Each structure stands twice: as structure tokens, then as C-alpha cells.
Amino acid sequence: MAGRARHSGAPLCGVLAPTCLQGQPGRTPPEAPISSAEVDNCHETAEELAAKLEKYARFFHRKVKDTDGKDRPMWRTRWSAPATWSGDRTHPPVLLVFNRIGERNPNRTVPRLAECTQHLWQGQRQKGGYHHYDGRIPIIATGLNQLREHGPTGPVFLRFGRDHKQPLREAIGNPRREAADARAREEAKAHQEQYQTQVRRAAQEQEAKKAAEREARRPVCTGCGARFTDERWAVAQVTDWGTPTDSHPHLCEACKQRALAAERQVAGKQEHQEPMRRGAEHQSFQRSPHRPVCTECGAAFTDERWKATERVGWGASPEPNPTLCEDCDRRFVADLQQAWLDEHRHEEQGQAVPEQRASGTWFSRFRR
């Protein structure tokens, strides 16, 4: 495991120490990307190397109860391992370093080894063009001469299942998935922004619709035709048991003040004219239900004569002859004046007033 390398005199630890295998004995530093390393001096066959990788797989699957009583992979209780960049729950990677001393050619051993261990490292291809490596072992191969030439950060590591060499961190990681996740995040962000824009637009349209409907309901002053302000509208809408509390709910504030001023002025005039109105009402005539008829000629009274002869209040009629029509009343007054003049003239001459005939003048009726 970490810091544990099998080799035959090849200075592997010295080459990988700066970035990979430095740390306390038996423990990998948190940033170290390598857990296990196998060094082959090109003496073993691909089948023998595959058997070793099978042992790695059995070790990675071994579980023990942790301090909290839950089953966990044993290797996680011995060595700390950061979460992978890609998010896959992969096993620790195994690095194969070939030191070309023996008779076997690593260029032929590596393809055969990859074929024998395909079930250990092959991932599941996804729709986005990347692979899931959950429960798989990243197996990376490189040459010691290439490490000496380019260092552990150079593109000298070939991961089984890939057709090109990469730097160590890219070989261990899952760059295609990382790129796909980045694209998915960007698409989700763009979709969310688009959705938020649609929501804001819908909210604005809804607010505009509500504002238009409210403006359509806004009252209009019946006096000047101006629309009510919000304050005036709120005051005019207040009711007490269904009855508006405002004195002029159909007028705007300016028209209401003018109406109140006019009403106060009219009320002052009415208070000043109230005594005169009461006297006039007391003297107003009370019309009888039937039109009167002249007692002399039998003609019906005109509206003017009828009104003139009616009683006023509780008093009598203002006319001296309320039973006569207007023509008979004038003749009566004329005959009365003539009779008075004749009587006065006879008194001045010392003569007696001659007896009038029964069917003579109007005055003869009053003399009897």
C-alpha cells in the first residue's frame, strides 16, 4: 500500500518521493495520488502480474468494523484517502513501474496484462462519453527510464483502457467525466438562469396585468372627471355596514372640498332665511279638496281666485267676499261704492234716501 513498493534495486522511491511517496512510514500524505506501486524488472509474465493485481482487488474488498460499529473497507481504516476529483468511488490506484533489465519486453507485457485484468479496471461507458469507475482499480503503467527523463509530473503514465499517456494526476483521475460534469453544471446554470428570467418575466407580466386591472377599476370624479389618487380611493371605499363613511365618495378631494364649502354657504343662508320661511309657511293657504262655485252667478272659481279666497293657516280668508267669483266681487264692490256715494250726497242735501226696490242694486240686499 502507501509507501510500499516492490522493486529490484530500481530507485523508484527516490524518483517519486517529491510528489508521490514522501511522508511518514506506513502512511500516505493526504495529497498523494498513489497508494500502491509495483516495480517489475521484466522477469515476470503478464499472468503473474495479473495474479498480484487480483490480490490487490481482494484486499481492497476486505471490510472490517470501524470504531462506530459500521463495516468499512479495511484499507480506509489504515490509510487516509481524499475523495476523487471525478466523484467515482474507485479503489486506490496501483502504479506499475517497469525497469527493463530482464528478457521480457514491457511493450508486449502491458497489452496482455491489460487484457487479463480488464474486469478489474474497465469502467462503464456513459452517455456523455465518459466512464464510471465505481468499484474499479485504476491501473497505471510507466517506465523507469521515462520517469528519470520527464519526472513524475510528465506525460509518461498510461492508464489501462486509454490510448495515450498522461500526467499522473490526469491518469489517476477522470478528466472526461470532469469535463462532462463541468458542461452539465454550465448547462444547469444556464437553464436555471433562463428559468429565473422566465419567472421574473411572468411575475412582471402578472404585476402589469394586475396594475392595469386596478387602474381600470380606479374611480373617476363625477365633478371634474379626474381619476382618484390611491389615498382618496382608499378613503372613499371605507364603509360602515355597507354605507360609505365619506360624505362625497364620488368626488375627488378638490371637488369634495368645493362641494363642502358650497354646502356650508347654502346652510348659512338657510339658517338666515328659516324664520321668514316659517312665517310664510304659516300664512300659506290651505286648499279645499273641491273647487268653489260663485254663490251669485254659479260659475266655478279660476285657480287664481281659488287660491286668493282660501284660508291662510288657522285664520280666515284674506278676501272680504270669498264666496263670490272675481267678476261678481268687482261688481259688488262697485255697487257698494256707488250706494255709499249716493247716500252721502243725499245726506249733504238734507234729503231722505229713497227706498230701493227689492230687485234693485247689490246694496239693497245689505240694507234689508
- What are the tens digits of pLDDT across the range 93-102? 899 999 988 8
pLDDT digits (tens, 9 = 90+) for 29-80: 444 455 688 888 999 999 999 999 999 999 988 999 888 888 888 888 887 6
Question: What are the residue boundaries of the structural domains of the chain, listed by start?
Answer: 4-173, 284-367
**pLDDT for 225 beyond 80:** yes
How far is C-alpha 212 from the geometric centre of its chain's CA atoms? Answer: 16
How far apart, in Å, do the first and last CA atoms of the chain sit?
Answer: 163
pLDDT > 70: percent of the chain: 75
Q: Are 41 and 101 in contact (CB under 8 A)?
A: yes
Read off the C-alpha cell for 234: 382608499
C-alpha–C-alpha distance, residues 118 and 16, integer Å:
26
Position 16 scores a pLDDT of 40
39 forms bridges with which residues in the sheet? 97
If we measure between CA atoms, which residue out of 99, 106, 101 comes closest to residue 144?
A: 99
C-alpha pair distances (Å), 157 with each of 13, 82, 117, 280, 332:
16, 21, 18, 124, 150
Average pLDDT of the chain, as a whole number: 78
Helix (H, G, I), strand (E, B) or coil at 103: coil
Q: What is the pTM of this model?
A: 0.48
C-alpha–C-alpha distance, residues 79 and 93, integer Å:
13
**pLDDT for 11 beyond 50:** no
**pLDDT for 119 beyond 50:** yes
Instruction: Look at 167 and 4; give whichever has higher pLDDT.
Output: 167
Position 308 scores a pLDDT of 77
Q: What's the chain's Rg over C-alpha atoms? A: 63
Mean pLDDT along residues 328-350: 76
pLDDT digits (tens, 9 = 90+) for 257-300: 999 998 888 887 777 666 655 555 544 444 556 788 888 887 88
pLDDT digits (tens, 9 = 90+) for 120-146: 998 888 887 788 787 888 999 999 999
Mean pLDDT along residues 224-233: 92
